[in-house]
Amino acid sequence: MTAESLSTLAVGSAGPRVAFLHGLFGQGRNWTQIAKAIAGPDGSAAQCLLVDLPDHGRSPWTQQFSYQTYAGRVAGTLSAAAPGEPWVLVGHSLGGKVAMVTALTNPELVRSLVVVDIAPKDYGDLDRFVHYIEAMRSLPLAELTGRADAEERFAQVEPDAGVRGFLLQNLRRRGETWGWQANLDLIAADAALGQGSQIADFPETGAPPYEGPVVWLVGGDSGYVRDEDTEQMRALFPRARPVVVKGAGHWVHSEAPEVVIETLRRVLRALPQH
């Protein structure tokens, strides 16, 4: 893997190409259940690529956060995986913003876009993530005797078992030492900027609107997307079609996987046949 390429996991061997982008502190494999479902039991319904974004999973780290850099790395990775072929691009939260920037700046790569519970706007700060960052940084990596020890210690600072499991997937053993796969220092530095957070913001790309089809999946109980966000979304993505998933919070694909799977199947059925 070169410094520019991203770590990926392939699911499925034939059919339209679909790439999945995860959220902050996530990994491509967070989409495994969804990818296996739309690829089909024989892998012939879709060719899925689960992407680890920069500073996450097994992908290289960057020196400073930039949506344009992330989008450029995603575009390069997709182009290398299937030269000349367009993709259905699916992104959640941070990955949804990266997917939007990728579609705006590399429209020839994206035949259809699915944005999950995020809007193209400045969210102000990363205050909602500061507790997660502090919890991760408080774990004494040099003292850990094993994963069970890590989980026990982490439970003292993060009581939610679901959140613990999600964050601890970033913990990896390298030889005799433990470390975080996510670039925690970079994320913490961005969070410390408060209202100047680049991760919370959405960049001005200077690109024309993306004219392809867009499904905008919104968690009905999330609060990340509001009615007033529709105007900006439609300005950048004129064909955006909001779909509210009732009873789902921010992690729509884990809380309502059957809805996301059926939505993606409809997106695939609507693709032009060559």
Average pLDDT over residues 155-173: 91
Superfamily grouping for domain 8-121+202-269: Alpha/Beta hydrolase fold, catalytic domain (3.40.50.1820)
pLDDT for 274: 57
What is the residue-averaged pLDDT of the chain?
Answer: 95
Please state, in angstroms and rounded to a whole number, the distance separating the CA atoms of residues 96 and 217: 10
Average pLDDT over residues 155-162: 88
**Which pLDDT score, from 0 to 100, does residue 1 have?**
46
Give the mean pLDDT of 104-132.
96
Scanning the structure block, which residue is given the tokens 């970079």? 186
pLDDT-based confidence at 128, cuts 50/70/90?
confident
User: Which pLDDT belongs to residue 272?
Assistant: 86
Q: Which residues pair with 150 in a beta bridge?
A: none
Query: Could you say which of 22, 56, 250, 253 is catalytic?
Result: 250
Amino acid 182 reads: A
Q: Please indicate whether residue 127 is annotated as part of the active site.
A: no
The model's pTM is 0.96
Contact between 44 and 3 (Cβ < 8 Å): no
Q: Which is the catalytic residue, given 7, 93, 197, 222?
A: 93
Q: What is the C-alpha separation between 75 and 6, in angstroms, rounded?
A: 10
Average pLDDT over residues 201-220: 97
Say yes or no to pLDDT of 157 above 60: yes
pLDDT at 2 over 70: no
> Nearest Cα to 232, choosing from 129, 115, 110?
115
pLDDT for residue 3 is more than 70: no
Could you read off the pLDDT of 62-74 as tens digits, one per residue? 999 999 999 999 9
Count of beta carbons in the 10 Å neighbourhood of residue 75: 20
Annotation marks residue 149 as catalytic: no
Torsion of CA 211, 217, 221, 226, to 10 degrees: 0
Query: What's the average model confidence in pLDDT over 50-57?
Result: 98
pLDDT score recorded for residue 160? 87
27 vs 8: CA distance, rounded Å: 10
3-state secondary structure of 178: strand
What single-letter DSSP state applies at residue 177? E
| pLDDT greater at residue 1 or residue 187 | 187
Decide: 260 and 116 in contact? Cβ < 8 Å.
yes
Give the whole-number percent of the chain exceeding pLDDT 70: 98
Query: Would residue 56 show up in a list of annotated catalytic residues for this protein?
Result: no
Buried residues in 206-229 as b, exposed as e (16+ CB within 10 A): eeeebebbbbbbbbeebebbeeeb
Which of these, 84, 120, 83, 117, lies nearest to 100 by C-alpha position?
120
∠ CA 169-128-64, rounded to 5°: 70
Could you give the percent of the chain with pLDDT greater than 90?
90
Instruction: Indicate which residue of 13, 127, 160, 185 is catalytic.
Output: 185
Tokens of 79: 């182009």
List the chain domain ranges: 8-121+202-269, 127-194
